[in-house]
A and B are shown apart, each in its own frame.
Chain A
Amino acid sequence: MADIKVDVRGETCPVPLVETRKALRKASPGDTVEIIGTHPASKKEIPMALKALGLKLVDIQEEEDVWTIKVGT
């Protein structure tokens, strides 16, 4: 079980979504993927993608325009 981190701070559409998907494809079952970013729309859209992919949103936090999304695989 690995903890995979995806840093997309400063990236804009569609990079946060694309990098999230790339990391999720590489993850093994049981891994945790943590995405950290600043693009406002992606904070809404990554959870939408997770739902479509049937993955579990573990946690979502935001502090001073930087959000962190944790996903279970």
Chain B
Amino acid sequence: MTEKATIVVHSGDMDKLYSALIIATGALSMGMEASLYFTFWGLERLVTGKLEKGALSSMNLLGLGKWMVRRRMKAANVASLERLLQDFKELGGKIIACEMTMQIMGIRQEDLRQDLIDEYGAVGTYVQEARESSITLFI
């Protein structure tokens, strides 16, 4: 059986989304399967047009910190979140959207980036993915 990485993306912070996507695309690149389970603030980033809208998890300074970090990321030629998501999908990664979060936050399927989402699920879907995974993280 192929090894697998399953990551819960709970945070909608820009830097944490980077961590999740870099680990996930890295796992796929090294021959593993990967699933991302988007919930709470993480799921909000999959609402159309909101991918890059997350704050910095620390030192955001009302957006000034984020602006500075983004500038340095640009100088270092860091890939955009959109590109990482496209690479994740191209390499066969799976994206699951949390249905309960959708209910709580009033997010409808048509509000979400349906081009990216493979499945809508609940805790059972996560547990089933995680029990088959050698790496599981909560970000």
Contact = CB atoms under 8 A, between A and B. Distances in A.
A30 interface: no
Contacts of B77: 10-12
A21 interface: yes
A22 B91 contact: yes
B91 A18 contact: yes
Interface stretch (B27-35, B37-45, B125-133): B27-35
B29 A17 contact: yes
Interface residues of A, number: 16
A25 B90 CA distance: 10
B6 interface: no
Interface string B76-115: 1111000010010011000000000000000000000000
A17 B91 contact: no
Contacts of A11: 77, 79
Contacts of A53: 30-31
Contacts of B25: 14, 17-18
A19 to B, nearest CB: 8
Interface of B: 22, 25-26, 28-31, 76-79, 84, 87, 90-91
Interface of A: 10-15, 17-18, 20-22, 25, 48-49, 52-53
Given A15-B79, A22-B90, A49-B29, 13 more contacts: A11-B79, A14-B22, A14-B25, A17-B26, A17-B29, A18-B28, A18-B87, A20-B29, A21-B28, A21-B30, A25-B91, A53-B30, A53-B31
